[in-house]
Amino acid sequence: MADLEAKLLDCDTAGYCSSSSGSDNDDDIKIDKRNNVLQRPEMGTKQIVSRNYRNTGPKGVLDDYKICKAKLEEKELKKYKQIVAQAKICTLSGELQNDNLEEIRRRRLLEMKDSLYAMRKIDELTEKEQFLCYIESNRDKWVLIHIYDDDNEACITLNKVFNTLAIRYPHLRLAKVLPLTIGMSQQFKMNALPTLQVYRNESLLGNFVRITDQLGEKFTVDQLIRFLSENEIELGISEYRISNHGDDDITGFDD
């Protein structure tokens, strides 16, 4: 087969073929191997069929350049659209993130402001005489005293509840004291905290030792108020809400 192919390519008639002998039109068709086109003798060099032809002249180069440029422009346009689409997504995402960050900042500022306010409203009793005087000087008010320790998780929870009480109900008098300050033993510190005492007119109306036994380690202001109400201690909150109905919207520290 290879010899036959070489013979056809190298013989004198290579590049020519004849139409069938029975045809009315006996014109020969010439194959121009150099330019890779088919020609009829009477048509000279007129091109009638192109087989994988590519013009290498100035016009062909210019046409190729235009085609290539068009493809590049199409590719760049597609890439640009993708970048724009991605930018829109990032912009929207960035706006959402900025909104979230702004909301977090706003909440943190409010919490800091409320915390500073609560710190001014909650008295730290540092002497035993101050503890007794505090109860006497506020005989016409509801007095809540938290006997606490900084390293006790439940005491930390009650301190947060006190912060919320100070913001929601400023008519209450709130204080905290370390057990050793009022002469309590180390055993009391280890086993009885947090302790909540409630006074009215110098009378001790409630003495809730290790209040977490009733409320659990984590509790909220509303749970504490409900618990005190169940023990017949109302704290005058219902009257305060009637005269100060707008204060319930203040953000607290129930987290």
Residue pLDDT, tens place only, 71-106? 877 877 787 777 777 666 665 555 556 667 777 777
Tens-digit pLDDT profile for residues 7-24: 444 544 444 444 444 445
pLDDT of residue 114: 63
Tens-digit pLDDT profile for residues 20-74: 444 455 445 455 555 544 455 555 444 444 444 555 566 666 677 668 767 877 8
Q: What is the dihedral of CA 5, 7, 10, 11, to 10 degrees?
A: -130
Per-chain mean pLDDT for the chain: 75
Tens-digit pLDDT profile for residues 183-194: 999 999 999 999
Q: Mean pLDDT, to the nearest integer, of 218-247? A: 79
Q: Which regions of 92-136 does DSSP assign to beta strands (E)?
A: 122-125
Question: What does the buried/exposed string (b/e) look like for 110-149 if buried means 16 or more CB atoms within 10 Å of the residue's CB?
Answer: eeeebeeebeebbbebeeeeebeebbeebeeebbbbbbbb
pLDDT of residue 105: 74
Tens-digit pLDDT profile for residues 140-190: 999 999 999 999 999 999 999 999 999 999 999 999 999 999 999 999 999
Between 122 and 236, the more confident residue is 122
CATH says 123-249 is which class? alpha beta
- Cα 145 to Cα 51: distance, rounded to the nearest angstrom: 102
pLDDT of residue 131: 96
pLDDT of residue 76: 75
User: How many CB atoms neighbour CB 164 within 10 A?
Assistant: 21
The pTM of the full predicted model, rounded to 2 decimals, is: 0.54
Query: Where do the CATH 3.40.30.10 domains begin and end in the chain?
Result: 123-249
Secondary structure (3-state) at 192: coil
User: Going by C-beta distance under 8 Å and a sequence separation of 6 or more, which residues neighbour residue 207?
Assistant: 195, 196, 197, 198
Burial class of residue 223 in the structure, from the number of CB atoms within 10 Å of its CB (0-12 exposed, 13-18 middle, 19+ buried) = middle
Strands 203-208 and 195-200: what pairing? antiparallel
Burial class of residue 54 in the structure, from the number of CB atoms within 10 Å of its CB (0-12 exposed, 13-18 middle, 19+ buried) = exposed
**179, two tokens:** 């057990």
Q: How confident is residue 121, by pLDDT bands cut at 50, 70 and 90?
A: confident
